[in-house]
Chains A and B, each alone.
Chain A
Amino acid sequence: MSEQTKEQAASLPRIGDPAPQFAVNTTHGPIKLEDYKGSWLVLFSHPADFTPVCTTEFVAFQEIYPQLKELNTELLGLSVDSVQSHIAWVRNIQEKLGVKVEFPVIADLNKEVATKYGMIHPGESTTETNRAVFVIDDNQIIKAIIYYPLTTGRNMDEIVRLVKALQTTANHQVSTPANWKPGEKVVVPPPSSQQQAEERANDEELEVIDWYLAKKELKE
């Protein structure tokens, strides 16, 4: 890895970091990241307008947008294309596929946001953003990051599941096990003392598999 690449990697935002602020032009006019305070945000990038996998993804993102809105979560797309290109593309999607894209799309022509968020991976492409997803919470902290390569469309069910899991953790101070879905048991934090471990074994509200792995039903 070159020194320059190491430096870039070191400066990329990570989970738990404040989301880098931006002021951008979008298909919905000028937007700042701070406009989303109080809402969760799924910020995602795609390689380019008028490309096949991205078109299937935009249709799929629009399909999950109502579910995300019910979770107080907004969607915001991004590529290095112009606003006019984005407008032409979303109009084409509506004309050819009958789907109206309702979320804004950033025109990141100077790659400012893409660079701040590490959405361009030079090993794959120096000119296009890859399929990055940043889940940002209502306090503008990055809670999850997903990267997919140019060739692989994202799984929308997983994005919705991820947002639900992150919000469950935020609201109930619990973790979620593999393949967790809402309604299923959650994982309680492991004991931090021997006394906690002993008492946990007798806690009737918990399903204790062993002292370090215990699950419980969530009470709404």
Chain B
Amino acid sequence: MACGKEEVSLSPSQLKLFLDAVKEPATEDAIARFTGLPIFKVRSSLRELTEAGYIETFHNEYTVSNKGKEYLVQN
């Protein structure tokens, strides 16, 4: 894209919500309950945040990465 692009499509408040949801390892369903978002939105956002390095995944659970922790401290 000629004019640049945000790192992720989530807004700052959405990003913080997701990082708060995975402070402890959590499944997709648990994250959906925590955020109150539909499952498609949870799955697509987790994929985006994992690819951007904010979240790590292990055995079908998601947890905040060092980059995500840093974001939470700064915001």
* A residues at B contact (CB < 8 Å): 28-32, 34-36, 38-39, 69, 74
Cβ contact within 8 Å between A35 and B48 = no
B44 CB-CB contact with A under 8 Å: yes
Chain B interface mostly helix, strand, loop or mixed?
Answer: helix
Interface residue ranges of B3-60 to A (CB < 8 Å): 8-10, 38-41, 43-45, 47-48
Name the CB-closest residue of A to B45.
A29
Question: Looking across the interface, which residue of chain A has its beta carbon closest to that of B9?
Answer: A29
Q: A29-B45, A29-B48, A30-B48 are in contact. Are A35 and B40 (CB under 8 A)?
A: yes
- Interface contact A32-B44, CB-CB below 8 Å: yes
Q: Which residue of A lies closest to B37 (CB)?
A: A28
- The answer to whether B43 and A35 have CB atoms under 8 Å apart is yes
Are A74 and B9 interface neighbours, CB within 8 A? no
Which residues of the partner chain A approach B9 to less than 8 Å between Cβ atoms? 28-30
B40: which A residues are within 8 A, CB to CB? 31, 35-36, 39, 74
Q: How far is the CA of A34 from the CA of B46 in the complex (A)?
A: 13
Whether the Cβ atoms of B39 and A28 lie closer than 8 Å is no
- On whether A38 and B39 interact (CB within 8 A), knowing A28-B9, A30-B9, the answer reads yes
B44 contact from A30, A38, A39, A69, Cβ within 8 A: A30
List the B side residues contacting A28 at CB < 8 Å.
9, 41, 44
| B38 lies within 8 A of A39 (CB) | yes
Those 7 A-B pairs whose CB atoms lie nearest each other, nearest first? A29-B9, A35-B43, A35-B40, A31-B44, A36-B40, A35-B44, A74-B40
Closest beta carbon of chain B to A75's beta carbon, Å = 10
Residues of B within 8 A of A30 (CB): 9, 44, 47-48
Residues of A within 8 A of B43 (CB): 32, 34-35
Interfacial chain B residues near A38, Cβ < 8 Å: 39
Closest Cβ of chain A to B18, distance in Å, is: 12
A39 contact from B8, B39, B45, Cβ within 8 A:
B39
Give chain B nearest CB distance to A6 CB in angstroms. Answer: 35
Best-surrounded residue of B8, B39, B48 (most CB of chain A within 10 A): B39
